[in-house]
A and B are shown apart, each in its own frame.
Chain A
Amino acid sequence: MINREQKKGRTLNSKLLELLEEGKKSEFEVDFVTTSTINKIDLRFLILYIPIIWISFFIVVAFWYNYLIFIQRIVIKILLIPVAILINFFIIAFGVALFGKLFLIILNLMHEPKQGVFKIEKGNKDYEFWRFRIQLKKLVLWVMNNNPLPWIDTWGFKWFGVQVDLSSHMFDSWVDTEFIEIGRKVTVGQGAVVMSSMVLGKYLIIKKIRFDDYTVIGGVSNIAPGTEVGKETIIGAFSTTYYNQKLDHGWVYFGNPVSKLKQNKYAEERNGFIHKKDVDENRKYKEIKEINIDEEGLDNEENNKVR
């Protein structure tokens, strides 16, 4: 609820109030989803690309130099070429990720990324830096997505500061790389769009998305910014969540906007069988507690004796 003092601050936005009274409030509500692609394309993005590609290729050159000089027998040289090419692939991915992160840190030092609603115009720093960040990450994830290994993609997300467990899988979908929290064993379906930012008329909305453990996002579904999905929840294929929607745990959701379809029985079945890691952690926790109590007791007795 709003205090009086807060209310005083709000009166500054009298123009907004006029607008809201003029039209019905529902006209301004965000009850639909658009897209999160970069709004305006700029040639300046090339300035980011060329140095990263340039520097990361040096590692490749160094690798080939060593390969050609240190392995002297021609037969072994020829036999190892396929392996060398495969290693080459990973070196490029590693180099681009390393220097991409370096540039990202510099960009974030210049302007810190934050959630909120921003205006799409030339002078707005939040908007411009959002475009730069996304364009920078696109290059790195493009390299990783062209890899034969799907896990390296998840590692790339982790590298850019997204909270992901390596057991999650989102190789076949469009996922934004900031303001996203993904738990353990999450699956995002083919062609699903998970957007933590949304372009909407004159405005850019950035809100955090949270997927809890064991959630499944169906194929070709759209996840809007601000969505929070509870534990063991399934979102059906071809469905859409709306801005700031909160989903309970243990349900199957479906539709546009998503609504409760039925309870997730499969999750209940899984509850019977407890995850091995959980059990181990519980036991450790208990043992430490018992030992602590004993030690305290012993200490007290010893202290008493001495005294």
Chain B
Amino acid sequence: MIKISTPAALKAGPFTTNLLARKKYIIFYIFLFWISLFIVQFEFWVFYSFLFNRLLFFILSLPILIVVMYISIILISLFFARILLIFVNLIHKPREGVFLRDKDDKDFRFWSLRSTIKKWPVWLAHKFPFPFMDNICLKMFGVKTKFSNSLFEGWVDTEFIEFGQNVTAGQGSIIQSALIAGNLFIIRKTIIEDNVIIGAHSIVMPGSKIGQNCILTSSSTTIVNQELEDGWIYSGVPAKKFKKNRFFEDHLEPFLNNPEEFEFFMNE
């Protein structure tokens, strides 16, 4: 739930908006789907043949096995997706820039291919209720993150993003590094530094750089290539300086708890 409960209408995971440039790219998707399920099936068979004679052990360890099987589906598909990505990146290196959104454009085509390959493992990892899997997924695909970041409630692109420590992405927030604008297709590197809080429903556009200890308030967006200064609170569409972030200072608890009491006190 949100924070706690994820709404049913928004169950999609943190992945790039996917455009199939060519329909044959689906083959890679099906390959990953098939091979991960195949190996897990083998895992179950080994377990079954060893433990079926002892029924009590079989039943006792079955629930754990199901969790382990789910995690191993994610890890196996991640592993093969990574290998596929290495080959794809050897053929054409991913790079930043502005490209044409067209089948003939090589960069657009390969971006589409990459995001198709990433889709199955990221979708699986996001479905798992334990938020840790998302970070593993992003790390495997070359996004710089720390395990202390919580990005599982938002949509996060899986390439050209750098995160610092303790970054919190709010419910339904979007962090992009690729953007489709009319006939153009833009890839820019997004950098988010330490202790940044991105509010609910806010959007970080490609190329924007958010400094340390910043807060982007809810329902606000940055524009392409915007730079946010360290230690400020930004809000609005597009994001503008709202006020200085004073909430990293000590001893503020009683004031935040009941501001009206202190109003009287300040007048004295």
Contacts and interface: CB of A to CB of B under 8 A. Distances in A.
Given A37-B171, A150-B8, 12 more contacts: A25-B262, A27-B243, A32-B217, A35-B168, A37-B3, A41-B148, A117-B253, A117-B254, A119-B253, A138-B1, A173-B7, A174-B153
A177 interface: yes
Interface of B: 1-11, 59, 62-64, 66-67, 129-132, 135, 147-150, 152-153, 166, 168-173, 197-201, 213, 215, 217-219, 233, 235, 242-257, 259, 261-266
B171 A36 contact: yes
Interface in A88-126: 116-119
A74 interface: no
Interface of A: 1-2, 7, 10, 13, 15-17, 19-20, 23, 25-30, 32-41, 43, 45-46, 49-50, 53-54, 56-58, 61, 116-119, 134-135, 137-139, 141-145, 150, 153, 171-177, 190-191, 193, 195, 197, 199-203, 205, 220, 222, 238, 240, 244, 256
A85 to B, nearest CB: 15
A305 to B, nearest CB: 62
Nearest to A40: B148
A205 B256 contact: yes
Contacts of A28: 246-247, 252, 255-256
Contacts of B199: 32-35, 222
A199 B4 contact: no
B197 A34 contact: yes
Nearest to A118: B253
5 contacts: A35-B173, A117-B254, A134-B4, A176-B2, A200-B247
Contacts of A141: 1-2, 4-5
The 5 residue pairs across chains A and B that have the minimum distance between CB atoms: A201-B247, A35-B170, A57-B63, A141-B5, A142-B129
Nearest to A15: B251
Contact of B166 (A39, A49, A58, A117): A39
B253 A57 contact: no
Nearest to B266: A25
A19 B251 contact: yes
A201 B261 CA distance: 22
A74 B253 CA distance: 67
Contacts of A43: 132
A118 B264 CA distance: 23
Contacts of A171: 7-8
A37 B62 CA distance: 32
A46 B130 contact: yes
A35 B4 contact: no
